Amino acid sequence: MNVVVTGGAGFIGANLCRELSTRPGVGRITALDDLSTGSAANLKGVDAELVEGSILDTDLLDDVVSAADAVVHLAARPSVPRSLADPFASHEVNATGTVRVLEACRRRGTHLVAASSSSVYGAVPTLPKHEDLPTRPLSPYAASKLATEAYVLAHGASFGLPVLALRFFNVYGPLQPAGHAYAAVVPAFIDAMLRGAPVTVHGDGLQTRDFTYVGTVVRVLADAVLHQVTCAGPVNLAFGTRVSIRELIQRLATAVGGPPPTVEHLAARPGDVRDSQAADGVLRGLFPDVTPVPLDHGLADTVRWFRGLPEYAARSAGEPAGAGVL
């Protein structure tokens, strides 16, 4: 089986390429990425071909998808704050780009697994979030991801294309970058703690999230490809592990060690959802053998990965090595 991963040099994409390379039955792996947020270095040591280019390039997509048995569509312009700064750019990549990928797949009947987002639930207060709830996006990013999954499911219904739209919640783990304005909370907090800097929290810190370790996510994605899993509706990819941002800081502080971090509170950000937690019944029905990595194990593994980076290695001298779970 030949697999194309759009966004394959990114955080989740590169982890998926690594996972696919270990699976019997997977032949050629192609990572298509424009390297706007991904990095070729993420694929070092992975048996995957990197094709540098955009999902907005129809001719390139046709060429890359022509020999694929399955496409995992992860390429996107991420981040709520980034979408607030430039809504059109988020729409162009996340919505229009998805249609271009779908059309390349439709021309060949290629199985497509695509990443949506829990942000589509938006202002709906019900917990846990189940797939039959209405959607009320609070940001241009969330709206663009709702368009992503809507187009995917519409192509399945209209053209008989085999598709699976997965709503990612807060994915974290090795290869997720820190040190930029749009960094996700887990890498941002780890970076601050390892540098001895204050941890910055937007809002009161009582907002809750459902964090999912990237190793669990890519195992589900690989299983979906190998078993050609499809679904007529969206599917949450998370397991109901709801924790507050304050609790996350405490758990990370334990994983990092040393004195408790200083926490600085800023105003809540526009577009941020207050609470998020997945109902996982549909997911477990499709993937009954999935076993999620516990939050504390995943956080510890992520901290170990950060300590191995050159910019943190000097601070971590003398730290005992630990085996990862990825």
Q: Is 182 a catalytic residue?
A: no
Of 141, 151, 172, 312, the catalytic one is 141
Distance CA 86, CA 64 (A): 29
Distance CA 88, CA 264 (A): 32
Instruction: Please give, one letter per residue, the 3-state secondary structure of the chain.
Output: CCEEEECCCCHHHHHHHHHHHCCCCCCCEEEEECCCCCCHHHHCCCCCEEEECCCCCHHHHHHHHCCCCEEEECCCCCCHHHHHHCHHHHHHHHHHHHHHHHHHHHCCCCEEEEEEEHHHHECCCCCCECCCCCCECCCHHHHHHHHHHHHHHHHHHHHCCCEEEEEECEEECCCCCCCCCCCCHHHHHHHHHHHCCCEEEECCCCCEEEEEEHHHHHHHHHHHHHCCCCCCCCEEECCCCEEEHHHHHHHHHHHHCCCCCCEEEECCCCCCCCECCECCHHHHHHCCCCCCCCHHHHHHHHHHHHHCCHHHHCCCCCCCCCCCCC
Catalytic residues: 141
